[in-house]
Structure 1
Amino acid sequence: MGFVLARYVGTAVCARLADEGARVAVLLLAIERTGRPGTGGLLVAALMVPHVLAAPIVGALADVVRRRRLFYLAIFVAYAALLAGVTPLVGRNAPAAAAMLLVAGCGAPLLIGGLTSLLGELVRDTAAPDAGAARRLQRAFGLDVSSYSMAGIGGPALAAALAVVIGAAWALVALAGLVVLGGLLLATLPLRTRATAARMADPLAGLRLMVRDRELGAVTLGSVLKETGIGALPVVAALLAVRAGDTAYTGVVLSVAAAGGLAGSLLTTVFPIRRRSPLVVVVLGAAGTGLTFLLLAVVPHGWPALVLFAVAGALGAPLVVAVFAVRDRAAPPELRTQVFTLGAGLKVTGAALGAAVAGLAAPAGAVVLLLGIAGCQLLAVLATLLVGRVTLARREPESIVS
């Protein structure tokens, strides 16, 4: 199982590094050619908006195709081709560039939630079904969460570094090559070929399942509200940098938070959380993150603040592992990928909404935004408790992965 999991993590890191980095590379390329950050922002939005709109459809397709490796590889290659192909259009034909990025964004959910949906099958098919299978699956989810953290740290930094060395256009081409590399690694994974192609599920079936299954609905709503608050973090970091008189402080804050997330995911991998309901993990994770941001409103800069940003990042890791575990348990085979891609798409949309609101509220200052982030964590706690109240009342405590 170890070698299979290593290849999976390599696939995930390549795909997610490129996805995170592409947003920065597109922005830098637009600024380089037009001098207008607003144009770059609109192009980045074009790449991100389809996440939630296309997620149910691309997930439903992945759930019914016979040759999933070929389907995933085709999406990876198409995404890479669109990223590379958009470079001559940015700054010269904005509508065409936006249209191309919209199409690319339709495949992005498969690079995020779609990959995670494969883990249950890969772990169960490559390990004996013994008492340790659940622990191995949780460790696999922990490693998967670490790939998001690595992408959060390395993607923007890689894009910026490549843009300085070879230019923003070639940086985008290089990131496209990274997606192709991820696709080649994915092609080596032992994914079963289905005997026959199934009938495609209703694209809204995954959403209906989230409404019907209280536990799944609770952790999904809680994680989306939590991520909506975290989406404001780049704006907060920029405001703190202005206050400190050091533009580099923006990157420091974001890197420290992402590094905390990486440390938290690795700790969760080494020391799996057991005997705790996923709902409890989500509630405690959001509550701890909210408290951390309340403290940051009091101490918003300096070394104590950086430590708190790292703690906030670390507290998010067990929460995400718990959400993955609930999706894995609740989604039937015919809806599995759709549930994972839709959940990921909703989180991306929540983060984008948080960033947009933070941008509009930026004149109010960093402290107000920090309190707003903390408020979103409180909303996540309340929503998880309210939606999941029947689950908490009727179910016995169980491990995150069962």
Structure 2
Amino acid sequence: MTDPASAPDREASRAPEPARVPEPPAAPVWGPGPAPEAAAPVTPSTVRDDLLAGFRAIARIRPLARATAVTTISCAGEGMLVACVPLLGERTLGGTGQGAALLSAIAVTALAANALLARRPRLLRPETVLAVSPVLLAAALALAALGGPLPLAAAVVLAGIAEGPQLTAVFAIRHRESPAPLRGQIFTTGASLKLTGFAVGAGVAGLLLDWSLPGALLAAAGVQLLAALVCVAWPRRPDAP
């Protein structure tokens, strides 16, 4: 006979166990973890660094060195021409202010020459333009030294034909020969050298003008011939890899 007192105990033993609630995860320990690796410091480049990088690249790459040397010397002759323009306007056109008209005519002719070359880009190689343009500028300066409206008009046309394509040619050579990471530094350095040459030429012409206007123009023509000589005599041996 079953003990009635033990029935509740058996029922309790057959009852399902209550579900266990999982313990919450341990709270993270906030403490000094491993030190992160130090990042390499980034040093911003300065104008001096960019100029030095440009100088090194120009000196290392032969076509860039040649184009930079030729155009820097040629810009010195152009600076001499600009210094002479007011006196040319006074002597030939009746006033120093007419020199600005001469510069405008040169600029228009240069623009027209570049437009023609843009329509026929294979007509002349940049190296050919680099060699011929100083000779044309020398001829223009010699014509301006002769005096008279007709020689001066011919000088303006020749100067524009030479100056516009020369600038385009040196840009083409720089773009072609410059390494992509240094292209900005090379263009900046080349422009600074050309501006320096222009300023030196203008200063020398200012001294020569106290002596003679034709003498200053012929001296500028000699500077352009020097640029042409440098272009022809520059070694064309390919760069070492």
Fold-level similarity (TM above 0.5):
yes
| 1:104-123 to 2 correspondences below 5 Å | none
Q: What root-mean-square deviation, in Å, do the aligned CA atoms of Structure 1 and Structure 2 show? A: 2.1
* CA positional deviation for 1:275: 6.1
Give the match for residue 52 of structure 2. 204
Give the match for residue 225 of structure 1. 73
How many residue pairs get aligned? The number is 193
**Aligned equivalent of 1:240, options 82, 88, 101:** 88
| 1:347-362 to 2 correspondences below 5 Å | 347-362=194-209
Does the alignment pair 1:251 with 2:84?
no
Give the match for residue 279 of structure 1. 127
* CA positional deviation for 1:281: 1.9
* CA positional deviation for 1:202: 5.8
TM-score in terms of structure 1 length: 0.45
Q: Secondary structure at the match of 2:210?
A: helix
Instruction: State how far apart, in whole Å, the 2-side matches of 1:321 and 1:388 are.
Output: 22
Does the alignment pair 1:302 with 2:149?
yes
Q: Secondary structure at the match of 2:95?
A: coil
* CA positional deviation for 1:274: 4.3
Instruction: State how far apart, in whole Å, the 1-side matches of 2:112 and 2:124 are.
Output: 22
The answer on whether the counterparts of 1:219 and 1:282 sit within 8 Å (CA) in structure 2 is: yes
Runs ≥4 residues deviating over 6 A: none
Give the match for residue 34 of structure 2. none
Does the alignment pair 1:262 with 2:111?
yes
| 1:64-103 to 2 correspondences below 5 Å | none
Structure having the higher Rg: 2
**Worse overlay, 224-233 or 280-289:** 280-289
Q: Specify every segment of 5 or more residues in structure 2 that has no aligned partner in the other structure, as ranges.
A: 1-44
Give CA deviations for 1:283-311 in whole Å, capped at 9, x if unaligned: 1111122122222222x331431232122
C-alpha spacing 1:388/1:282, structure 2 compared with 1 (3 Å): farther
Give CA deviations for 1:111-158 in whole Å, capped at 9, x if unaligned: xxxxxxxxxxxxxxxxxxxxxxxxxxxxxxxxxxxxxxxxxxxxxxxx
In terms of fraction of residues, the more helix-rich structure is 1
Task: Name the amino acid aligned to 1:318.
Answer: P
Task: Name the amino acid aligned to 2:87.
Answer: L
Give CA deviations for 1:33-59 in whole Å, capped at 9, x if unaligned: xxxxxxxxxxxxxxxxxxxxxxx944x
TM-score in terms of structure 2 length: 0.73
Q: Secondary structure at the match of 1:364?
A: coil
* CA positional deviation for 1:238: 1.5
Identity %: 36
